[in-house]
Amino acid sequence: MLPVKIGVSSCYWAGDPSKMLFNGRPLFFLEKSMSDFLFRNGCLVLMIPFLHPKGVKSTAFAKELDGLVLQGGVDVSPESYGEKPIKKEWEGDYQRDLYESDLVKAFVGENKPVLGICRGMQLLNVCFGGSRYQDINHFKPDAFVHRDAQLYERNQHDLEITSGSRLSKVYGGLLKAKVNSVHHQAVKDLAMGFTIDAKSSDDGIIEAIGMQQKSPDDPYCYGVQWYPEFQAGSLEGFLDPDVLLRDYIDAVKHRHHKKGMP
């Protein structure tokens, strides 16, 4: 079988004329650990630019590619779920929200699997009608500090996995584990048609969600709040990141097989 072609949503740097980098020009970019994560699991990785040229639609990418992965990054804009930012630094990126939501709907419409990482999980929830906490500790002062700028991916907490959930099943019935934590926002109201597959043991913050499936042929749309690509290999007590990705790739290959592709 040929490598599966996975489209990855691009991060965007608007540019700054005062900076020397590319003479201040705006950039699309892909975080290296994400491409390494996908490449080592047999994927052909293609970054999908946004602010598409006139006439280029997300459906064109959804038809050509086998699946979609949403990168982490800047906050989801409160405007995307009907709120105003409480603080300027929480206003997020509304244009990226529109771009990624359009991609999600196109890929789900083609029954191509979608995996959301951190911001990507929150975007999935918002895309299908859910909402978010603009800042965890603003609304839950006693919650675990899920984003520590100094520790970054070394920040970690325990995870409670829902019994019988997809996440538990792919990890052989596991109900407890550890994950990294690099987010200050989180799912508040869960989107209809989704299930909660894991929560933070410390404060109940939602850490994994998935679109309900009645059969393996139903759309695969899944999100995790941690960054599996930041973890090199299987550390003791932590979820092996490659197990999660293999589940996603298996879903992609299943749809290949159903369509009679090589």
Using one digit for the tens of pLDDT, what is the confidence trace for 3-62?
899 999 998 877 667 767 777 777 888 989 999 999 988 899 999 988 666 667 899 999
CA distance 80 to 74: 14
CB of 70 closer than 8 Å to CB of 116: yes
pLDDT at 148 over 70: yes
User: What is the pLDDT, as a whole number, of residue 234?
Assistant: 64
pLDDT at 153 over 90: no
Count of structural domains within the chain: 1
User: What is the pLDDT, as a whole number, of residue 254?
Assistant: 87
* Phi, psi of 248, deg, nearest 5: -65, -45
Question: What's the sign of the alpha-carbon dihedral 76, 77, 80, 86?
Answer: positive
Q: Reduce the DSSP state of residue 205 to 3 states and report it.
A: coil
CA distance 19 to 1: 45
Query: Which whole number is the average pLDDT over 114-119?
Result: 97
CA distance 188 to 244: 24
% of the chain residues with pLDDT over 70? 91
Average per-residue pLDDT in the chain?
90
Query: Which whole number is the average pLDDT over 199-207?
Result: 95
Q: Which range among 21-30, 129-138, 148-157, 248-257 has the greatest average pLDDT? A: 129-138
CA distance 205 to 1: 39
User: What is the pLDDT, as a whole number, of residue 242?
Assistant: 93
CA distance 174 to 168: 5
* 57 DSSP assignment: -
- Distances in Å between the Cα of 32 and the Cα atoms of 8, 45, 50, 187 are 12, 11, 19, 26
pLDDT at 233 over 70: no
- Pick from 120, 134, 70, 115: which is nearest to 219 by CA? 115
pLDDT 10s digits, 184-198: 999 999 999 999 999
pTM: 0.93
User: What is the pLDDT, as a whole number, of residue 53?
Assistant: 64
CA distance 47 to 246: 20
% of the chain residues with pLDDT over 90? 72
* 2 DSSP assignment: P
Strand pairing of 11-13 and 27-29?
Answer: antiparallel
User: What is the pLDDT, as a whole number, of residue 27?
Assistant: 81
User: What is the pLDDT, as a whole number, of residue 261?
Assistant: 54
User: What is the pLDDT, as a whole number, of residue 80?
Assistant: 96
* Phi, psi of 188, deg, nearest 5: -105, -75
Q: What is the DSSP string of 137-204?
A: HHH-TTS-----TTTGGG-EEEEEEPTTSHHHHHTTT--EEEEE---S-EE-SPPTTEEEEEEETTT-
Q: Which residues pair with 94 in a beta bridge?
A: none
CA distance 257 to 66: 12
Identify the CATH number of the domain in which residue 115 sits.
3.40.50.880
Q: CB count, 10 Å around CB of 168?
A: 18
CB of 243 closer than 8 Å to CB of 169: no
pLDDT at 76 over 90: yes
pLDDT at 224 over 70: yes
User: What is the pLDDT, as a whole number, of residue 166?
Assistant: 97
Boundaries of domain holding 205 = 4-258
